[in-house]
Structure 1
């Protein structure tokens, strides 16, 4: 596990936070952008609930408008910073699938990359046994580092694979593949029995 311990108790809930109520496990997308993947996934998986979180106001505005056009009852767009939202909104072992598609590579601040953050341990505690994480990037060095973290720090099994040239899950993916850039993804599994230091943590907001 990460040497630095994430401290969820110091995070305030996002502004205008509403505690979600779901009757089944959810899928979660962090960094949903303008919602291309979220809408496609919700259309193709009507029996799954997808919560898609986007922090940037301009992108979320487009996403929310597109969601209204499609009227997908199983898609929940959320305008918030994902870290405090996850801390206060999600209970342990409630996420069956997580998407991190083309996240900001944070070239000037590697500590802010998802698998380098102590928060990643908390995020793992929200995942069910055998849940899957999809991490996609067009930067080989980013995935090299993530793979190293999975092996050395998080001890999680994964498969690294090329993304098909005709894939079009996100606007970034369409753009990168059209340029001929080598897009790849890590498919990460949380094994049954995997333990974190947050497996019993529930935000006081969620207890109310």
Structure 2
């Protein structure tokens, strides 16, 4: 079954390449592209979107032409047997969705770990001099060629999770705490 789906997805990719080259007839190709997207296993969930929505894997037209074991078995079932099989599949859908949720959580943890490997910790101490970023939505922003940093300011307090309380050089305390992502060290 998966081999047939992969073959269908390869054919869809070829069709999409032709569509991109010609830039015409995309409306005829769109259903095939959507089928390929919906029947491809997602890395984040470990399942296809089709499986999570419809409780079963998609039957690709190739599989209907060259019947798989699943198609042959369903064709030879009586109505009562088919209904009981569907009820069994419905009972398993919660388990399949839980597996997808667990897979998603593990994927998120892996991505978080990979991100944090590249992050450098920025520690500030009381008394250090820093520059504060001027964001585009602030009143201090004057235009395209204006400076991006303002300061220097002195760190008065270091709060949890990288929050800083700043003061002007004359000792006036800045009214709002600021995140350490919006400041950088000032080297005089």
Report the TM-score range of the alignment, normalised by the length of the smaller protein: under 0.3
Higher RCO structure (Cα 8 Å, ≥6 apart): 1
With normalisation by structure 1, the TM-score equals: 0.25
Larger radius of gyration: 2
Structure having the larger proportion of residues in strand:
1
